[in-house]
Amino acid sequence: MWIPIKPPFGGFETDYQSSDIVILGIPLDLTSTYRTGCRFAPQKIREASFNLETYVPSAGKDLFESLKIHDMGDLFLPSELEEAGKVIQDAVNRVSREGKTPVILGGEHTLTYFACKALKPENIIYIDAHADLRSEWIGQRLCHATVARQLVEEMGGDHVIFVGTRSYSVEEAEFIKHQQIEILSDFSNPKELAGKIKGVAEAKKVYLTIDMDVLDPAYAPGVSCPEPGGISTSQLLELIRHLGPLSLCGVDLVEVCPPFDNGCASFAAARVLYQILAHLL
Ligand SMILES: [Mn+2]
């Protein structure tokens, strides 16, 4: 069941049938062990998007003219993770089966697992400050701190490309070494970095997930788990600009936490999504 939200993301109002890209608000917020509140992010990101220019100069595109975007609103989720996961998987599956590219507004990072279960990508580009590679976290096998581990165990370490990762435990460091996982975190030349990512993600079905905590807390303090020492919003936008062409089967943007956000994180999130829409979709 969808809760309709007005105004829709970016003010884009293509009807569902005619749309190519579908925005899905997925306010999953069940496994956080620190700050909760990312359930409010889809609405805050919509609000920010509505107040940003839809013309993207670096692409020479106005999103209103170049894309057919429909916003489903927010998915109503049960309060138990497994049940919520099924609802997410079904929703993403339906949109994809009907030939549309899902763009998800999270919610916590755990939703990536369910979206990927539905979409079955060949490669995942995992942009996040944290590795999320713990085998379990405070008794939870599947949560925001273990989601990448679950993906790697199902897909293989060479199918998940870690970008911007700068925070992990000893256990995760050993797993990274053992699985020969490559971490790409040098943003000094975003164009070169984009080339390296594309070199790995040549597949026909690529999923892109962005945890907004990849940004330094100076640029996005309102996230669930801020991690100092990150990149700037401009560096992330520049990376996305050079990342195309990619065969994206789905995108998510997660972990914005509005109760701790002064607007920086939600506006950055909306701009990052516009950049993805203009350059990659
Ligand atoms: Mn993270």
Backbone angles phi, psi at 252, to 5 degrees: -135, 155
Would you say how long the chain is, in residues? 281
A 10 A CB-CB count for 189 gives 14
Q: What percent of the chain has a predicted confidence (pLDDT) above 90?
A: 94
Bridge partners, residue 223, by sequence = 256
Backbone angles phi, psi at 61, to 5 degrees: -130, 140
Which residues 6+ apart lie within 8 Å of 126 measured at CB? 112, 132, 148, 151, 160, 161, 162, 163, 165, 209
**Residue 64 one-letter amino acid:** F
CA 1 to ligand 1 centroid distance, Å: 28
CA 252 to ligand 1 centroid distance, Å: 13
CA 217 to ligand 1 centroid distance, Å: 12
CA 41 to ligand 1 centroid distance, Å: 15
CA 120 to ligand 1 centroid distance, Å: 22
Output the pLDDT for position 200: 84
Domains of the chain: 2-280 (3.40.800.10)
CA 18 to ligand 1 centroid distance, Å: 35
Output the pLDDT for position 33: 82
- List, for the chain, all residue ranges whose pLDDT scores fall below the cut of 70: none
CA 134 to ligand 1 centroid distance, Å: 12
Backbone angles phi, psi at 224, to 5 degrees: -65, -45
Per-residue model confidence as pLDDT tens digits over 139-172:
899 999 999 999 999 999 999 999 999 999 999 9
Per-residue model confidence as pLDDT tens digits over 192-211:
999 999 988 777 799 999 99
Environment of ion ligand 1 (residues, CB < 5 A): 128, 130, 211, 213
CA 64 to ligand 1 centroid distance, Å: 31
CA 7 to ligand 1 centroid distance, Å: 28
CA 68 to ligand 1 centroid distance, Å: 30
